[in-house]
A and B are shown apart, each in its own frame.
Chain A
Amino acid sequence: MPHDSYISATDWLFGMLALLAIVFYGGAVFHSNRQSRLRKWPRKRIVLWIAGVLASASAVVGPLAELSHDFFTWHMLGHLLLGMIGPLLLALAAPMTLLLRTLPVRQARMVSSLLRSRLAGFYTHPVTASILNIGGLWLLYTTGLFAAMHHHLWLHVLIHMHVFVAGYLFTISLLYTDPVSRRYSYRFRTVVFIAALAGHGILSKFLYAYPPAGVPIEEARTGAMLMYYGGDAVDLVLIILLFRSWYHSAKRQQTHIPSTSDGHVYMNETTQNAPAG
């Protein structure tokens, strides 16, 4: 296996992509901030974008990429960074919103009609995105694909791209940080999300019991547990963000929330007078 040339080729490719991502985002922020009619782009989002690019890139460039080539546990850490943490941070940086406000009106309209197209609607449907994301992982780890990935450069590149893109689609299909073609109800997204998380957890335990071909059992076990608990940690953040946005939208929808000014009064009254309950 032409190991070293292999690593350097992917280093170069993914490194360039990461660099371009930061340069383009920074350029767009700089450009759109100069337009006086627009609010300043939040600094927080710039930080999130850079963190997201670094997290994703760290899995496919440099020492972690090299280690994950040889060790399953490191591979799993890379998977968490590339497929979950990175995409989440990037989605929170709202790149599409930035793009739309940076482009001239005509091009912005084109992009926005592209985002509203049936094709985009298909790929950002929670079910499609979940199948691409979790189904892709099942394919990778339970077939010969994982072993083949280590022997073919193009397969290696393709699979890592897929993990990243599917992770990103999955994130934006659940959290609407950017414009989407269609917004699905919280209930629907929650149900799909639970099924997807379950698929991830089940796969982790499955890998613990039945390691992919060529992976030593001990490595498979630590890797599987990292996948299970690391996935839990990132998913917890996703769940909190999902419910937080439900909490804010429920406030807007329901009109009969008593106003807080008088609410305070009868809260105190009831504690004194209401029957125990």
Chain B
Amino acid sequence: MAVLQVKNWTNRRSYQKRNLWAGILFGLGFVAFLDETVFHQLLHWHKFYDKSTVAVGLVSDGLFHAFSWFATVGGLYLVADLRRRHALWHKMFWGGKLLGGGAFQLYDGTIQHKVMRIHQIRYHVDIVPYDIVWNVTAILMIAAGLLLIKSAQRNARSAERLMPHAT
């Protein structure tokens, strides 16, 4: 039994980066998807195009929009790949998800909304509370993601210590 257990940690360790990247990509794609679905389509808070958009904002928005489709689908295929290798590491994956999702949300909420002015979170309201909630959520997600990643790495190290014959 111990041998089998070690095997799984070996798989996880050797696919550590892939677990992390699957999470980062899927998290980024998922947040972008939620942004499109909830804020553009359901609530109609975000605008398709805002006249005050600077040119580079259009480019940034287009690139991130295209990338987010790839990230969502690619992230999920990476998960499928990790599963068939018996190397899916939920804690690392979740850490990556929160980190990727939070990082995108922070970029969207600061650079894209405020600097490039591609659109605001909502119109005809006092925008400050919205901006604060948006960006604080993003920072919390990043922090939680980093903590999970650290903790996953600690788990892996202690698993290795428990099994000195590993590798």
Contacts and interface: CB of A to CB of B under 8 A. Distances in A.
Contact of A275 (B66, B74, B158): B158
A274 B9 contact: yes
Nearest to B86: A263
Nearest to A186: B74
Interface stretch (B57-65, B123-131, B132-140): B57-65
Contacts of A235: 66, 69
A266 B8 contact: yes
B48 A205 contact: yes
Contact of B152 (A196, A198, A270, A277): A277
Nearest to A256: B85
A244 interface: yes
Given A247-B81, A269-B1, A277-B89, A205 B62 contact: yes
Contacts of B51: 209
A201 B84 contact: no
A1 interface: no
Contacts of A275: 155, 158-159, 162
Interface string B1-12: 110110111011
Contacts of A247: 77, 80-81
A243 B85 contact: no
B107 interface: no
Interface of A: 190, 193-202, 205-206, 208-209, 225, 228, 232, 235-236, 239-240, 243-244, 246-247, 250-251, 254, 257-258, 260, 263, 265-267, 269-270, 273-277
Interface in B58-104: 58-59, 61-63, 65-67, 69-70, 73-74, 77, 80-81, 84-86, 89-92
22 contacts: A194-B63, A194-B70, A196-B66, A197-B69, A201-B61, A202-B59, A206-B58, A225-B48, A235-B69, A236-B73, A239-B70, A251-B84, A257-B85, A258-B7, A258-B11, A269-B4, A270-B8, A273-B2, A274-B8, A274-B159, A275-B155, A277-B89
Interface residues of B, number: 41
Contacts of B74: 190, 239, 243
B156 interface: yes
A195 to B, nearest CB: 8
Contact of B62 (A199, A236, A269): A199
Contacts of B63: 194-195, 198
Contact of B86 (A199, A243, A266): A266
Contacts of A250: 81
B48 A232 contact: no
Contacts of A193: 70
Contacts of B70: 190, 193-194, 239
Contact of A201 (B7, B66, B85, B162): B66
B58 A205 contact: yes
Contacts of B156: 277
Contacts of B89: 277
Given A193-B70, A199-B62, A270 B155 contact: no
A265 B48 contact: no
B155 A277 contact: yes
Contacts of B4: 265-266, 269-270
A240 B81 contact: no
A243 B73 contact: yes
